[in-house]
């Protein structure tokens, strides 16, 4: 028993000795690591001390692998330290005491924070505190991006934070090339050039600014991405590649059952566009279901209406757009030329040039916006033109007006949108349908024809049947009568429909898909007249039955003209409006004041009214001088507000 006890005691002593050796090696390893020595070398020394053991090879391989990993990490940290020190170099003294600039690796400005961090790093390096150096430079590993930091999360853990935007731009500049379509013959070397170019500019530029820094002198430096002219030319068509969230549906929309249940199958939809107004949305949630049921049913009826593309009209639209636009109220695809700065020091000439150049640039910006809008509409039409039908889910704006949720190509849009859309389900015209189709054509032609009685409008249509047939058969090669209409594309669609009906054996049995629009007469004034029980006002906005429709805009234009005639009799030397009134006497009509009168009940401001009238006057050649045009618009807006 005594020998057994001594044996067990020796075994416990041997186990304790082995545990002691393990702890000693661990302390030795941590001590050497804190002194900044090579971890691989430490593990090699430890492995050499264990040569007498049977598992020497396994321990050596494992420790060498660990050492290799640590060496790699140490090397990477050393590179980071070196880059940081090179990046934050400022100025050093020469032997003569003069100061000279060190060659900068990057064009970055050294901030006071970086200078303080550099001093701290140099101090830690002298004391061989490598671990503290690495921790101090951890925040400098990835510079801040020009945008927001993008964080990549995996399993709810942030594993990286990088300036994704800046790197993506760098990749684009380095890898994107363009090959022009000309001079690419087999015997010639291919003409390949970068699609984008990045440069620093301290002057004000009209390009795309991606970064902004300040140099030592305080001047601003802008990083600019400049694209190749071929790329710039294609940007006008880039709108077609935008992803639109709410598109027309090929199946009937889901019926509305709650404020957030209905319309699209999967996309989030709300019955009212509250634009972030929480109180309005909460009030909508609390509304009794019985009160909202009629609203849901009305929206369901609008959304379940089937539409389709009028392919004959759409082909005409595509042809005009491919030819450069600038026809049937379509925007011109070319920009207006910007006048060149004159080689003179005359302030009056330079002032005129600045005015004209500013107007040309503004016009080009507007044209670009309009071209993008046309591309968006046409892109939607191209994708659904071969469909048998599609649907527009509807919801309400904050005022309670119903609108299609798809914002571009819909039946409440421009003349082009309405012209290329027709009902998906046709109906026989019948006697009343054919009659209203003729009235509808006269309304679309306008020009005073829409102010005639119904019989007068029917007579107008029947007197222009030859023009209608020519427009339907040869819309672009014929006499183009339809282009004279106020709504040309809708007029063309009506010409095609009437032509098909009258040429058929039974016009009244012809299937028609044509929507016949019924417009109000200045709805805002109609509401005021109805609320105030104003009989005179009700008659001017067609709330009272009459043989011919009343026109409130023509009445207001007549009163504006009376005021201007009185002002024109004054002396121009004492009244500056006298000369403006004399210029505008021959320009006042319903079109000049219509938009201002229509928007006055919605709170249009003086500046808004001035811009509206100025736009109408620019369409006429009567006033060429920009200053006179501006003054005339100001005067006309003030007179319109007096009525």
What was the pLDDT predicted at 56?
47
How much is the mean pLDDT over the chain?
A: 79
Same domain, 576 and 505: no
pLDDT of 160 strictly over 60: no
| 130 in a structural domain | yes
| 6 in a structural domain | no
Same domain, 498 and 354: no
What was the pLDDT predicted at 252?
95
Same domain, 190 and 247: no
d(CA 35, CA 31): 7
- Which single residue is written with the structure tokens 């003569």? 96
Please count the helices (runs of H) and the strands (runs of E) in the chain: 23, 18
> 547-560 pLDDT, tens per residue?
888 888 988 999 99
| 2 in a structural domain | no
Instruction: Please answer whether residues 44 and 67 qualify as being in contact, where contact means their C-beta atoms are separated by less than 8 angstroms.
Output: yes
Q: What is the arithmetic mean of pLDDT over 221-228?
A: 79
Instruction: Please answer whether residues 498 and 462 qualify as being in contact, where contact means their C-beta atoms are separated by less than 8 angstroms.
Output: no
- Which single residue is written with the structure tokens 């004399």? 582
d(CA 22, CA 28): 10
What was the pLDDT predicted at 523?
86
How big is the chain, counted in residues?
643
Instruction: Please answer whether residues 475 and 316 qualify as being in contact, where contact means their C-beta atoms are separated by less than 8 angstroms.
Output: yes
285 vs 445, residue with greater confidence: 445
Q: What is the arithmetic mean of pLDDT over 364-369?
A: 94
Same domain, 235 and 266: no
Least confident range of 201-215, 463-477, 565-579, 582-596: 201-215
508 vs 137, residue with greater confidence: 508
| 599 in a structural domain | yes
| Two structure tokens written together for 628 | 């006179």
What was the pLDDT predicted at 230?
80
What was the pLDDT predicted at 185?
59
Same domain, 299 and 403: yes
Produce one character per residue of 375-399: b if its CB has 16 or more CB atoms within 10 Å, e if not.
bbbbbbbeebbeeebbbbbbbbeee
185 vs 291, residue with greater confidence: 291
Using alpha carbons, list the distances in angstroms from residue 322 to 368, 375, 419, 473, 489. Answer: 16, 11, 18, 20, 16
Instruction: Please answer whether residues 498 and 437 qualify as being in contact, where contact means their C-beta atoms are separated by less than 8 angstroms.
Output: yes
Q: What pairing do the DSSP bridges indicate for beta strands 427-428 and 306-309?
A: unpaired
Strands (E), 458-560: 511-512
pLDDT of 148 strictly over 50: no
Instruction: Please answer whether residues 599 and 525 qualify as being in contact, where contact means their C-beta atoms are separated by less than 8 angstroms.
Output: no
Q: What is the arithmetic mean of pLDDT over 412-426?
A: 95
Same domain, 169 and 268: no
Q: Answer with the one of 226, 241, 256 that is the final residue of a domain.
A: 241
352-358 long-range contacts (CB < 8 A, ≥24 apart) are 355/626, 355/627, 356/626
For the packed helices 56-87 and 39-49, what is the interaxial angle rounded to 10 degrees? 160
pTM over 0.95: no
| Two structure tokens written together for 550 | 């009343």
* 159 CB-side CA count, 13 A: 6
| 620 in a structural domain | yes
* pLDDT band, very low/low/confident/very high, at 576 (cuts 50, 70, 90): confident
Cα 249–Cα 255–Cα 261 angle in degrees, nearest 5: 95
d(CA 537, CA 299): 32
Same domain, 291 and 418: yes
CA 173 to chain centre: 23
| 325 in a structural domain | yes
Give the helix, strand, coil percentages of the chain, each rounded to 5. Answer: 55, 10, 35
Cα 315–Cα 383–Cα 302 angle in degrees, nearest 5: 95
| 233 in a structural domain | yes
What was the pLDDT predicted at 197?
83
| Domain carrying residue 633 | 552-642
Instruction: Please answer whether residues 546 and 535 qualify as being in contact, where contact means their C-beta atoms are separated by less than 8 angstroms.
Output: no
- Name the phi and psi angles at 540, rounded to 5: -75, -20
What was the pLDDT predicted at 91?
52
Neighbours of 577 (CB within 10 A): 20
Number of domains present in the structure of the chain? 5
Q: Which of 28-42, 173-187, 414-428 has the highest mean pLDDT?
A: 414-428
pLDDT of 516 strictly over 70: yes
| 3 in a structural domain | no
Q: What pairing do the DSSP bridges indicate for beta strands 394-396 and 390-391?
A: unpaired
Same domain, 417 and 453: no
Same domain, 314 and 415: yes
What was the pLDDT predicted at 210?
42
Same domain, 259 and 207: no
What was the pLDDT predicted at 151?
37
Same domain, 467 and 338: no
Among 382, 339, 333, CA closest to 235: 333
Instruction: List, in order, residues 6 or more apart from 572 with CB less than 8 Å away.
Output: 578, 579
Q: Which helix (H) or strand (E) holds 596?
A: helix 590-600
Instruction: Please answer whether residues 445 and 485 qualify as being in contact, where contact means their C-beta atoms are separated by less than 8 angstroms.
Output: yes
Q: Answer with the one of 241, 268, 289 that is the final residue of a domain.
A: 241
Q: Give strand pairing partners of 221.
A: 213
26 vs 537, residue with greater confidence: 537
d(CA 536, CA 203): 62
Q: Answer with the one of 358, 391, 425 that is the final residue of a domain.
A: 425
Same domain, 249 and 237: no
What was the pLDDT predicted at 74?
62
Q: Give strand pairing partners of 423.
A: 307
Instruction: Please answer whether residues 567 and 578 qualify as being in contact, where contact means their C-beta atoms are separated by less than 8 angstroms.
Output: yes
Portion of the chain with pLDDT greater than 70, in percent: 71
């Amino acid at each position: 028993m005594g020998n057994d006890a001594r044996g067990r005691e020796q075994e416990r002593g041997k186990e304790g000795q082995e545990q002691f050796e393990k702890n000693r090696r661990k302390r030795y390893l941590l001590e050497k690591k804190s002194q900044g020595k090579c971890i691989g070398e430490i593990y090699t020394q430890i492995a050499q001390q264990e040569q007498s053991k049977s598992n020497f090879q396994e321990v050596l391989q494992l420790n060498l692998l660990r050492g290799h990993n640590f060496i790699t990490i140490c090397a990477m940290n050393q590179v980071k330290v070196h880059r940081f020190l090179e990046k934050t170099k400022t100025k050093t003294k020469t032997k003569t005491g003069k100061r000279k600039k060190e060659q900068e690796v990057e064009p970055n400005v050294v901030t006071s924070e970086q200078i303080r961090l550099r001093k701290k790093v140099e101090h830690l390096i002298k004391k061989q505190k490598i671990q503290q150096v690495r921790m101090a430079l951890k925040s400098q590993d990835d510079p801040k991006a020009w945008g927001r930091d993008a964080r990549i999360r995996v399993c709810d853990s942030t594993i990286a934070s990088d300036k994704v935007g800046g790197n993506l731009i760098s990749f684009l500049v380095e890898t994107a090339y363009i090959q022009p379509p000309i001079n690419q013959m087999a015997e010639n070397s291919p003409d390949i050039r970068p699609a984008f170019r990045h440069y620093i500019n301290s002057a004000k530029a009209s390009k795309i600014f991606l970064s902004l820094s300040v140099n030592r002198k305080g001047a601003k430096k802008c990083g600019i991405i400049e694209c190749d002219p071929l790329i710039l030319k294609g940007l006008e068509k880039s709108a077609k590649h935008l992803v639109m969230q709410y598109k027309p549906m090929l199946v009937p929309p889901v019926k509305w059952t709650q404020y957030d249940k209905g319309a699209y199958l999967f996309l989030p939809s709300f019955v009212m566009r509250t634009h972030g107004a929480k109180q309005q949305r909460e009030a909508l949630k609390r509304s009794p279901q019985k009160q909202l049921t009629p609203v849901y049913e009305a929206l369901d009826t609008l959304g379940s209406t089937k539409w389709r593309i009028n392919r004959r009209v759409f082909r005409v639209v595509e042809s005009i757009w491919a030819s450069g636009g600038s026809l049937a109220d379509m925007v011109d695809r070319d920009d207006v030329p910007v006048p060149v700065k004159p080689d003179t020091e005359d302030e009056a000439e330079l002032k005129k040039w600045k005015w004209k150049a500013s107007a040309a640039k503004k016009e080009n910006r507007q044209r670009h916006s309009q071209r993008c809008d046309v591309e968006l509409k046409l892109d939607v039409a191209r994708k659904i033109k071969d469909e048998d039908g599609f649907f527009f889910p509807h919801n309400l704006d904050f005022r309670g007006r119903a609108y299609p949720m798809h914002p571009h190509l819909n039946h409440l849009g421009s003349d082009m949108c309405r012209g290329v859309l027709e009902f998906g389900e046709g109906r026989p015209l019948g006697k009343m349908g054919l009659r209203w189709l003729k009235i509808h054509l006269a309304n679309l032609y306008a020009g005073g024809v829409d102010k005639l009685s119904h019989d007068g409008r029917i007579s107008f249509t029947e007197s222009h049947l030859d023009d209608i047939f020519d427009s339907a058969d040869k819309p672009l090669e014929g006499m183009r009568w339809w282009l004279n209409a106020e709504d040309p594309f809708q007029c063309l669609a009506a010409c095609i429909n009437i032509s098909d009906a009258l040429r058929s054996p039974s016009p009244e049995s012809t299937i028609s898909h044509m929507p016949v629009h019924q417009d109000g007469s200045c709805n805002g004034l109609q509401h005021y007249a109805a609320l105030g029980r104003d009989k005179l006002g009700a008659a001017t906005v067609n709330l009272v039955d009459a043989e011919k429709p009343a026109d409130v805009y023509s009445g207001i234009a007549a009163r504006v003209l009376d005021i201007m005639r009185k002002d024109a009799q004054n002396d121009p030397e004492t009244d500056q409006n006298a000369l403006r009134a004399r210029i505008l006497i021959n320009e006042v009509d319903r079109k000049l004041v219509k938009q201002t009168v229509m928007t006055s009940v919605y709170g249009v401001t003086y500046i808004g009214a001035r811009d509206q009238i100025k736009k109408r006057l620019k369409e006429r050649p009567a006033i060429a001088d920009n200053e006179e045009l501006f003054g005339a618009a100001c005067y006309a807006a003030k007179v319109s507000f007096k009525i």
